């Protein structure tokens, strides 16, 4: 059996002050997953997470797997999907509602 | 039920020492330079020697230790010290991580059950936000984490004017204060 | 209800100042997240999937109308116009900003509320019977004792860094509405054969990964030794509870590993020692506190109340609501009303700011400004005149809170699950919504049925204690649900038994429907689901689901 190709990964975190879910765009944190940049180098991503946390911008930085659909990253796991959208039981709230 | 009067230990005087050591009351022996003898080192005599619980008996047999201290790790039973308290000038209570709260009980047992009046010192991860609890349990010397300034310790220790429970310090619980208010 | 005096105010205000200072130090970089996290948790502030979540303590589930209005105000000013009542009789807000949390706590303090004891390895918010002070079943009102315990455990210097969190529940009625045997310590106040009132003390109960029913540690503890005995238990636990493995750190594991007898011996030894120095608050302190919990000035009302009885006869919808949501009060002519927060299709336990405001107004008008929160995530107006019930019901209908389903299939306990909670393995709320929709049409004929759903093994949704329990698990990245049957959190506490292999979201809803259909064909007379299950065991239900 051949190992499946590992999925591309991006970084997310919570904004320290607001708690809002944010993604690394390559140069800054963004609230929009569509602007997230794929991790090219795991060690660099690790180091970036540490620097950003030390700089008191974000907390709980971690990478997660995505599938690119029409050029837009869609989280592979449900957990990050909920984070990128908002509660599935309150479609009027969170990023899915344009907040 | 018995409602013993709470021991009042008199005004607490502060004595700030080097090495980020913070004392809550004046003690004539507070300036002693305590030396801890690790378990794998040769036991020595001296003016102020601290040993682990496992070497405590050995230290007791020596007559060249003027002031004897004992270090209690979390999980060790301070009640074992009861027969020897008169010989002990310092009990160090170790908090290897601030999350390990076992030695809060040790402090109260020493003060309240065993009526130990010598110094109890917190060592290890002694952070600003735990000091209040430590002192309330009867700890009266703090080897502060290097990150904690004495000003921060002062602030942490003076924040709460009232307390709900009687514990190992001299503070009156509010139910007692209410009786006279 | 209890009113703060200057001492209580000073303590809570000092706490708010302290937290303000801690947040400032965090934002200024003096505190790392590692150092700050336990501090924010000690103030009820968690980081969840979408934002910070703040859990506010509702001591023993008792709220004044003014406090409820403040909770509504907070929902509007700091959150998104709603909040969630939890199975710990607390309330939580889902979209809190760190920088605003100190102001929020200051607002809470103005109505004598706070977020202490809602997180961390300390003695958590004390819970009790939501009918306390209103039911004729109790031997005394448990709330003064709960308040004594609240004060005793607030910033307890010795017990703020326990091996794990610690939950205490008490009740003074034989009918257990506080699930006391599923707590670290459960306390039951009762009258013994010689007519003295004292506590039956249960220890080592709990849900979570290793569910265990609490065992009787002391058959009769005289009231005068109340706090000293608890201190002895806490000290044994603090010293000897496991700290090497968080899944084995609860007191239930210590009791299990030592054996009840040895644990008992250790507690007694500690207690003997503690009694020599322990200063139990004097009787006048209990009297002082009890004075806040005296009966409101009930009217003398002749029963039956004709208007009420007629309304029940002529309005079946009202009659159904009374049947499910209204309970007997100790005072003739009064009733206890449970307001269901489980409207079919809505989120269990959620209430909007407007709903909270309206309930506060109704409490002012009809229930001496008194509101209670239940561990089943409903609210209670404890003292309503029967003559007012119809008007109250109509007003509840206007705000969508007149669901007549208390204790029925759609009155589901559900934790926030993966829609909000960062620890979740699966969603709970949509499962509850789907089951409620599916079963609502047959729930009245089905009778009492307690369905409880947790989104992970932490069991905040009490699935072990559900007549039907549902646990969300992660199966290779997919949401999966395990079904179990036969649990109870009442005085006849039992733990539910896993039925068989798990299901996906649709599958578990179908399976629950089949179980209920099976029950409806095999039940005898007025058996509840739980009675039938206890009579027949799992076999017929297994057959119905997997056969
Ligand atoms: S049971 Fe699990 S998913 Fe549900 S609220 Fe508790 S921790 Fe979160």
Distance of CA C310 to the CA centre of its chain: 35
Q: Which of C517, C499, C465, C526 is nearest to C179 (CA)?
A: C465
Pairs across A and C, CB distance < 8 A: 70
Is residue A1 assigned to a domain? Answer: no
Residue located nearest, by CA, to atom 2 of ligand 1:
C456
Q: Which of C49, C454, C459, C480 to probe ligand 1 with, by most ligand atoms within 8 A of CB?
A: C454
Per the CB < 8 Å rule, is A19 touching C420?
A: no
What does each of the 99 residues of chain A score in pLDDT, given as a tens digit? 567 788 999 999 999 999 999 999 999 999 999 999 999 988 999 999 999 999 999 999 999 999 999 889 999 999 999 999 999 999 999 999 998
Residue C418 Cα: closest atom of ligand 1:
3
ipTM of this model? 0.94
Q: Find out whether A19 and C98 touch, Cβ atoms under 8 Å.
A: yes
The domains found in chain C, sorted by start residue, are: 6-110 (3.90.480.20), 142-292 (3.30.413.10), 306-398 (3.90.480.20), 413-546 (3.30.413.10)
Dihedral sign (CA C233, C239, C240, C241): positive
pLDDT of res. C493: 97
Is residue A52 assigned to a domain? Answer: yes
**Which chains share 3+ C-beta pairs under 8 angstroms with B?**
C
Is the pLDDT at C459 greater than 90, yes or no? yes
Q: Which of C250, C161, C232, C157 is nearest to B101 (CA)?
A: C161
pLDDT of res. C31: 85
Is residue A4 assigned to a domain? Answer: no
Distance of CA B43 to the CA centre of its chain: 24
Q: Give the separation between CA C505 and CA C434, rounded to whole angstroms.
A: 9
Helices (H), A1-99: 42-54, 78-85
For residue C457, give every residue at least 6 positions away whose Cβ sits within 8 Å of its Cβ, in sequence order, or none. C208, C209, C425, C471, C473
Q: Give the separation between CA B165 and CA C11, rounded to whole angstroms.
A: 12
| Mean pLDDT of the residues in chain B | 86
The domains found in chain B, sorted by start residue, are: 13-179 (3.20.20)
Report the pocket of ligand 1 as residue ranges, CB < 6 Å.
C 415-417, 421, 423-424, 454-456, 458-461
pLDDT one-digit tens code per residue, B41-87 = 999 899 999 999 999 999 999 999 999 999 999 999 999 999 999 99
Is residue A3 assigned to a domain? Answer: no
Pairs across B and C, CB distance < 8 A: 115
**How much helix, strand and coil, in percent to the nearest 5, is found in chain C?**
45, 20, 35
In Å, what is the CA distance from B152 to each residue of B15, B17, C53, C315, C460? Answer: 15, 15, 28, 67, 38
Residue C224: list chain B partners with CB under 8 A: 1
Of all residues in chain C, what percent carry a pLDDT higher than 90? 96
Q: Give the separation between CA C403 and CA C420, rounded to whole angstroms.
A: 25
pLDDT one-digit tens code per residue, C342-378 = 999 999 999 999 999 999 999 999 999 999 999 999 9
Half-sphere exposure of B149 (CA within 13 A, CB side): 4
Q: Give the separation between CA C455 and CA B101, rounded to whole angstroms.
A: 30
pLDDT one-digit tens code per residue, C169-228 = 999 999 999 999 999 999 999 999 999 999 999 999 999 999 999 999 999 999 999 999
Is residue A92 assigned to a domain? Answer: yes
Is the pLDDT at B28 greater than 60, yes or no? no
| Backbone conformation region of residue C155, classed left if phi is above 0, alpha if psi is from -120 to 50, else beta | left
Per the CB < 8 Å rule, is C51 touching A53?
A: no
Tokens of A47: 């180091």
Residue B181: pLDDT band with limits 50, 70, 90 = confident
Per the CB < 8 Å rule, is C152 touching B132?
A: no
Q: Give the separation between CA A12 and CA A40, rounded to whole angstroms.
A: 15
Per the CB < 8 Å rule, is A89 touching C80?
A: no
Is residue A58 assigned to a domain? Answer: yes
In Å, what is the CA distance from C210 to each residue of B179, C471, C498? Answer: 45, 14, 13
CA C454 to ligand 1 centroid distance, Å: 6
Burial (CB < 10 A; 0-12, 13-18, 19+), residue C193, is: exposed
Tokens of B151: 């000003």
| Cross-strand partners of C186 | C169, C202
Out of C15, C158, C228, closest to residue B167 by CB: C158
**Which chains share 3+ C-beta pairs under 8 angstroms with C?**
A, B
Per the CB < 8 Å rule, is C8 touching B174?
A: yes
Residue in chain A nearest C424 by alpha carbon: A79
Angle at C232 between CA C228 and CA C237, to 5 degrees: 145
Q: Give the separation between CA C289 and CA C140, rounded to whole angstroms.
A: 14
| Cβ atoms within 10 Å, residue B133 | 23
Dihedral sign (CA C281, C284, C287, C289): negative
**Residue from C149, C157, C164 whose CB has the most chain B CBs within 10 Å, to mutate:** C157
pLDDT one-digit tens code per residue, C107-166 = 999 999 999 999 999 999 999 999 999 999 999 999 999 999 999 999 999 999 999 999
Is residue A37 assigned to a domain? Answer: yes
Q: Give the separation between CA C156 and CA B8, rounded to whole angstroms.
A: 20
Exposed e or buried b per residue across B25-50, where buried means at least 16 C-beta atoms within 10 angstroms of its C-beta: bebeebebebeebeeeeebeebebbb
Q: Which of C374, C120, A64, C49 is nearest to B133 (CA)?
A: C120
Which residues from C are below 8 Å from A when comparing CB atoms?
A: 26-27, 29, 33, 47, 49-52, 80, 95-99, 347, 418-420, 424, 427, 429-430, 433, 477-479
pLDDT one-digit tens code per residue, C233-245 = 999 999 999 999 9
pLDDT of res. B19: 62
User: 3-class secondary structure for C219-255?
Assistant: EEEEHHHHHHHHHHHHHHHHHHCCCCCHHHCCHHHHH
Based on the structure, what is the number of domains in chain A? 1
Domain span at A29: 9-97
């Amino acid at each position: 059996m051949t190992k499946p190709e590992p999925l591309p990964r991006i970084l997310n975190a919570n904004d320290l002050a607001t708690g809002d879910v944010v993604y690394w765009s390559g140069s800054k944190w963004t609230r929009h997953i569509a602007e997230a940049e794929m991790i090219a180098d795991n060690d660099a991503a690790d180091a970036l997470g540490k620097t950003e946390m030390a700089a008191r911008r974000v907390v709980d930085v971690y990478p997660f797997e995505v599938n690119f659909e029409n050029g837009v990253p869609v989280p592979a796991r449900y957990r990050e999907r909920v984070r990128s959208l908002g509660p599935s039981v309150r479609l009027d709230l969170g990023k899915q509602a344009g907040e | 039920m018995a409602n013993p009067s709470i021991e009042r230990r008199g005004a607490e005087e502060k004595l700030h020492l080097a090495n980020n050591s913070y004392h809550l009351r004046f003690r004539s022996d507070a300036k002693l330079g305590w030396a801890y003898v690790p378990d794998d080192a040769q036991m020595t005599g001296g003016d102020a020697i601290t040993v682990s619980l496992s070497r405590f008996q050995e230290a007791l047999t020596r007559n060249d230790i003027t002031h004897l201290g004992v270090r209690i790790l979390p999980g060790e039973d301070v009640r074992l010290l009861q027969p020897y308290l008169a010989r002990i000038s310092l009990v160090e209570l170790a908090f290897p991580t601030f999350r390990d709260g076992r030695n809060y009980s040790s402090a109260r047992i020493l003060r309240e059950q065993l009526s130990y009046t010598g110094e109890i010192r917190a060592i290890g991860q002694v952070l600003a936000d735990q000091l209040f609890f430590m002192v309330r349990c009867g700890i009266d010397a703090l080897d502060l984490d290097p990150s904690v300034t004495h000003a921060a310790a002062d602030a942490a220790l003076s924040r709460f004017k009232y307390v709900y429970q009687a514990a190992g310090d001299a503070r009156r619980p509010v139910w007692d204060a209410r009786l006279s208010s | 209800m209890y009113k703060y005096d200057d001492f209580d105010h000073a303590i809570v205000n000092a706490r708010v100042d302290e937290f303000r200072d801690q947040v400032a130090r965090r934002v200024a970089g003096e505190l790392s997240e590692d150092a700050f996290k336990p501090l924010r948790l000690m103030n009820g502030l968690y980081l969840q999937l979408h934002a910070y979540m703040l859990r506010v303590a509702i001591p023993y589930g008792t709220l004044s109308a003014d406090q409820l209005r403040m909770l509504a105000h907070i929902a509007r000013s700091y959150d998104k116009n709603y909040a969630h009542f939890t199975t710990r009789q607390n309330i939580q807000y889902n979209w809190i900003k760190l920088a605003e949390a100190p102001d929020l706590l200051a607002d809470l303090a103005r109505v004598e509320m706070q977020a202490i004891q809602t997180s961390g390895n300390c003695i958590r918010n004390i819970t009790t019977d939501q009918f306390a002070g209103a039911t004729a079943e109790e031997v005394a009102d448990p709330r003064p004792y709960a308040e004594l315990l609240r004060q005793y455990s607030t910033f307890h210097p010795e017990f703020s860094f326990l091996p794990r969190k610690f939950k205490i529940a008490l009740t003074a009625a034989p009918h257990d509405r506080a699930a006391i045997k599923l707590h670290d310590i459960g306390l039951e106040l009762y009258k013994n054969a010689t007519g003295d009132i004292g506590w039956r003390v249960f220890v080592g109960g709990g849900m979570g990964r290793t569910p265990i029913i609490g065992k009787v540690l002391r058959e009769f503890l005289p009231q005068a030794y109340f706090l000293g005995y608890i201190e002895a238990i806490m000290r044994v636990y603090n010293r000897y509870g496991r700290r090497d493995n968080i899944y084995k750190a609860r007191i239930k594991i210590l009791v299990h590993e030592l054996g009840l007898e040895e644990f008992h011996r250790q507690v007694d030894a500690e207690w003997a020692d503690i009694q020599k120095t322990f200063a139990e608050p004097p009787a006048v302190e209990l009297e002082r506190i009890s004075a806040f919990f005296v009966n409101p000035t009930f009217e003398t009302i002749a029963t039956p109340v004709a208007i009420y009885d007629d309304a029940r006869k002529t309005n079946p919808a009202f009659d159904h609501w009374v049947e499910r949501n209204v309970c007997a009060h100790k005072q003739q002519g009064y009733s206890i009303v449970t307001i269901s927060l489980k409207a079919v299709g809505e989120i269990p336990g959620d209430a909007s700011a407007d709903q909270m405001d309206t309930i506060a107004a109704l409490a002012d008008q009809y229930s001496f400004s008194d509101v209670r929160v239940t561990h089943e995530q409903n609210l209670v107006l404890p003292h309503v005149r029967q003559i007012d019930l119809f008007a109250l019901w109509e007003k509840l209908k206007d705000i969508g809170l007149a669901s007549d389903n208390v204790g029925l299939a759609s009155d589901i306990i559900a934790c926030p699950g993966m829609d909000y909670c960062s620890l979740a393995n699966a969603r709970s709320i949509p499962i509850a919504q789907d089951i409620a929709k599916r079963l609502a049409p047959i729930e009245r004929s089905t009778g009492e049925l307690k369905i409880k759903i947790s989104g992970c093994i932490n069991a905040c949704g009490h699935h072990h204690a559900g007549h039907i329990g549902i646990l969300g698990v992660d199966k290779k990245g997919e949401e999966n649900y395990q079904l179990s049957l036969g649990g109870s959190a009442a005085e006849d506490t039992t733990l539910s038994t896993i039925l068989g292999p798990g299901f996906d979201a649709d599958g578990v809803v179908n399976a629950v429907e089949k179980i209920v259909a099976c029950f409806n064909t095999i039940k005898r007379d007025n058996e509840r689901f739980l009675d039938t299950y206890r009579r027949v065991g799992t076999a017929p239900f297994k057959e119905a689901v997997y056969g």
